[in-house]
Amino acid sequence: MAKRSGGPSNTEIDMTPMIDMTFQLITFFMFVMNFSEAEQDDRIQLPSSQLAKPADGVIEKPITLQLTNAGSVIYAGELVAVRDIGAYLEREKTLMIDENREPNSATIIVRADGRAKTGEVQDIIRICQEKGFERFALRAQYDDRR
Amino acid sequence: MARRSSSGLTDKVEINMTPMIDVVFQLMSFFMCTLKVVSPEGDFDIRMPIAAAAAAAPDDQQIPPVRVKLSAAPDGSLAAIAMNGTPVADFDELRKRIIALVGADSGPNSLAEKTEVEFDADYALKYANVVKAITAVSGKVENGQVVELIRKIKFTPPKKG
């Protein structure tokens, strides 16, 4: 037969350490969270470079073109063939002109996979040049190994 | 004067912690789920207007660009490097040749600032090799400090084949 204690037992768990730890975890996740709007895609394996240090300033309204290993461009989340990006860039150019901005003031961020063909990167640059863009940022992963 | 409760007993107000803990755990789950570990990335800035080749009129002040040829093996790996037609063993040697050509000074009006490097890479060459070549010519890391070399970089038009 089960034994019963004389009165109702009132065991209170001390919640303070758990709440402390939870708040510390939240703070940690808030700090490490990436709020930047930079377009990044996991399909791209960027080449690494010791000199590719993160820029001090923020590039204003950049156009990001990501070249995959297979030779397709990821533009605004869509997979596009290299030869077709001209039409999309034309649209960007029209938008920029509407906002009284010159295409040559915009920066094209080229996030190309390290295994992609150099010629395809050059093709992208050539198409951009034909549309009036002339500032390029070749993106690489910062490698701090000595 | 301090007031005392009429009953004479101390009131123990217990705050109900359950909603707060619920919210805190939800917040934590949100941050954990949206966490994306991002490795730091950097840029090599290049300015390449389309008319640059045509507009490059001969100028006494202008230094002819240093041509770096990067040849590809059939599998896309790097087969050979040449600087102004002379073979170069690797990227470290390319950097040494660049330093020998322009000097270590990279301040305003220095030779390093005026000199331009033109990369002529094979179409099928893996892009990682080009980034290595750009790294070799654009600077070096000395005691944790970046020493800049050449900043003007351009590419020859792509040649398919």
Q: State the complex-level ipTM.
A: 0.75
Residue B43 is assigned to a structural domain of this protein = no
Range of the domain at B130: 65-155
CATH code of the domain covering residue B125: 3.30.420
Which residue of chain A has the CA closest to B50? A129
Task: Tell me the mean pLDDT per 10 residues along chain A, length 146.
Answer: 55 84 89 69 85 74 89 88 89 88 85 92 90 88 74
Residue A12 is assigned to a structural domain of this protein = no
Could you give the CA distance from residue B134 to residue B127 in angstroms, rounded to a whole number? 11
Give the strand pairing for A63-67 and A107-112: parallel
B127 at interface of A, judged by CB pairs closer than 8 A: yes
Q: Are B155 and A119 in contact (CB under 8 A)?
A: no
Residue B123 is assigned to a structural domain of this protein = yes
Contact (CB<8Å) A135/B47: yes
Contact (CB<8Å) A117/B131: no
Q: Which of B148, B62, B154, B61 is nearest to B107 (CA)?
A: B148
Contact (CB<8Å) B27/A123: no
Contact (CB<8Å) A136/B35: no
Contact (CB<8Å) A22/B25: yes
Helix (H) or strand (E) holding A96: helix A85-98
* Residue B137: how many other CB atoms lie within 10 Å: 27
The C-alpha of B2 sits at a distance from chain A's nearest C-alpha, in angstroms, of 30
Scanning B77-116 for CB atoms below 8 A from A yields none
A10 at interface of B, judged by CB pairs closer than 8 A: no
Q: CA B83, B89, B94, B96 torsion: positive or negative?
A: negative
What confidence score (pLDDT) does residue B1 get?
A: 47
Residue B115 is assigned to a structural domain of this protein = yes
Residue A69 is assigned to a structural domain of this protein = yes
Residue B93 is assigned to a structural domain of this protein = yes
pLDDT in tens, chain B (161 residues): 444 445 555 677 878 888 888 998 999 899 888 887 777 788 888 887 776 554 455 555 667 888 999 999 999 899 999 998 889 888 888 888 888 888 767 667 777 778 888 999 999 999 999 999 999 888 888 777 777 888 888 888 877 75
Substitution target from A49, A109, A128, A131 for chain B, most B beta carbons within 10 A: A49
Residue A33 is assigned to a structural domain of this protein = no
How many folded domains does chain B comprise? 1
Strands of B40-108, DSSP E? 41-47, 66-72, 78-83, 86-88
Q: Are A137 and A108 in contact (CB under 8 A)?
A: yes
Residue B124 is assigned to a structural domain of this protein = yes
The C-alpha of A1 sits at a distance from chain B's nearest C-alpha, in angstroms, of 35
- The token pair at A45 is 């394996």
What confidence score (pLDDT) does residue A135 get?
A: 87
The per-type count for chain B, helices as H runs and strands as E runs, is 5, 8
Range of the domain at A54: 48-142
Site of tokens 């789950």: B29
Give the strand pairing for B145-148 and B139-142: antiparallel
Q: Cβ-count burial of A60 within 10 angstroms (0-12 exposed, 13-18 middle, 19+ buried)?
A: exposed
What confidence score (pLDDT) does residue B133 get?
A: 92
Contact (CB<8Å) B127/A118: yes
How many folded domains does chain A comprise? 1
Residue B147 is assigned to a structural domain of this protein = yes
